[in-house]
Amino acid sequence: MKLLLLPISALLASNFALAQTTLEGNYILTTDNLQNGVIEAGTSQEIAIIGDKVHFMSQTATQFLSGNSSIVGNVIDFKLSDKIPSNTQYFLGNVDVQGNYSGTWFAENGSKGDWTLSALQSNAATSCKDILDAGLSQGDGVYDITTVSGETLSVYCDMTRDGGGWTLVGSYPASETGGIYRIEQYGSIPETDPNNVTKLWLYKGELSVFSDVKEQVSCSTLDCGDGYNVYGTNFTSRELELVRYNWGAKDRVELMPKNSDKPSCTTSLEPGAIVYEGCVGTAYIGGNVADTTVGWQGDVLASHCWVATGTYKPGSKGSAICSKGSLPNGTQWALLWMR
């Protein structure tokens, strides 16, 4: 597997930090409440800054920001005040070679923490499809993308199959037992090898940069060549969220009580492909969603075919065998892709 680790925002906006003489633009300000030099459980907000390095400001209906930075140096300081009730945070930090600011903050009430300020650049890649469309693909592998919240994430991109541009957003290892009830139970560290899946993970961020989805179950060979694929195209963000929630046994029942509440799917990207209502086999159309299994598809292409077990036999490991009467046996894995 190629580990490309391609920082697209740096390629598209090279020498950004050196060329920047003004702070004017849109930024993501991320803060936490623990002062240890690392952002932990941070919260992010987008701010629109006007002005230059000598003096800059930003204002919303509820907050006012004002500050300055050194033109020749790398020091920045600013304060962020809530209008009602009155509360002010004081920020001090510096800038790195890529133009990202970071430092520490203090408030009048004694609270404190760390912060980062990163430019929200329109030319930063937010998905594998962005990279492919920009002509910067170097084949399948790991690339850096920038999430909507401004976080840099190293993800696996499938640039060659089904039109390419697929971002791996979820994985269920063969070694993992069933019984995942909530999507919050999935890890936050991305799986970067779809052919040697070791991480139980699901991307939980904003999905507005995607419109297509592909779910692969019962994988045991290279590129999931023996697996079962279903697709959704031109989906809204809400439909993509529902697909993601199907990876939690309890989440899916609560949000989609009936199979007809689930987004429909096809088994091919070809025009005129058969649409499966609720992404279930015809025997289940009109029925209720069950928490016995996990996953978007249910017996669409084969019997007992889904991502993993839910409340039923939760000790079964890995993805389904997709054979009537057979339970997962720790030999198959499942993948979720979006583009």
Check whether 20 has a pLDDT greater than 90: no
Per residue in 53-107, pLDDT (tens digit) is 789 999 988 899 999 987 655 799 999 999 888 789 999 999 875 578 999 999 9
CB-CB contact of 298 with 284 (8 Å):
yes
CB-CB contact of 199 with 185 (8 Å):
no
CB-CB contact of 9 with 99 (8 Å):
no
pLDDT band at 19 (very low <50, low <70, confident <90, very high): very low
From-to residues of CATH 2.40.128.120 in the chain: 10-119
What is the Cα–Cα distance from 260 to 279, expressed in whole angstroms? 9
What is the Cα–Cα distance from 186 to 225, expressed in whole angstroms? 25
Lowest mean pLDDT among 90-99, 179-188, 266-275, 292-301: 90-99
Cα within 13 Å of Cα(300), Cβ side:
28
Mean pLDDT for the stretch of residues 281-286: 92
Higher pLDDT, 82 or 167: 167
**Cβ-defined contacts of 237-245 (< 8 Å, 24+):** 237/206, 237/207, 237/208, 237/210, 239/263, 240/207, 240/210, 240/211, 240/213, 240/338, 241/207, 243/213, 243/215, 243/296, 243/336, 244/169, 244/170, 244/183, 244/202, 244/204, 244/207, 244/336, 245/183
How high does pLDDT run on average in the chain? 90
From-to residues of CATH 3.90.215 in the chain: 128-338
Per-residue tokens: 43 = 């919260």
pLDDT band at 22 (very low <50, low <70, confident <90, very high): low
- Strands (DSSP E) along the chain, which ranges? 6-7, 25-31, 43-51, 56-59, 63-69, 75-82, 87-95, 101-107, 112-119, 141-146, 152-158, 166-172, 201-202, 213-219, 228-232, 265-266, 275-276, 293-294, 308-309, 333-338
Q: Phi-psi region for residue 2, left (φ > 0), alpha (ψ -120 to 50) or beta?
A: beta
Query: For residue 2, what pLDDT is reported?
Result: 41
Q: Phi-psi region for residue 247, left (φ > 0), alpha (ψ -120 to 50) or beta?
A: alpha
Nearest to 328 by CA among 301, 309, 302: 309
Query: Would strands 6-7 and 141-146 be described as parallel, antiparallel, or unpaired?
Result: parallel
Nearest to 188 by CA among 159, 149, 161, 221: 149
Options 2.40.128.120, 3.90.226.10, 3.40.50.2020, 3.10.28.10; CATH for 10-119 is 2.40.128.120
Check whether 210 has a pLDDT greater than 90: yes
What topology does CATH give the domain 128-338? Gamma Fibrinogen; Chain A, domain 1 (3.90.215)
Would you say the C-alpha torsion 38, 43, 44, 47 has a positive or negative sign?
negative
Query: For residue 74, what pLDDT is reported?
Result: 78
Check whether 14 has a pLDDT greater than 50: no
Tell me the pTM: 0.68
Q: Which residues fall within 8 angstroms of residue 216, CB to CB, at 6 or more apart? A: 224, 227, 228, 229, 334, 335, 336, 337
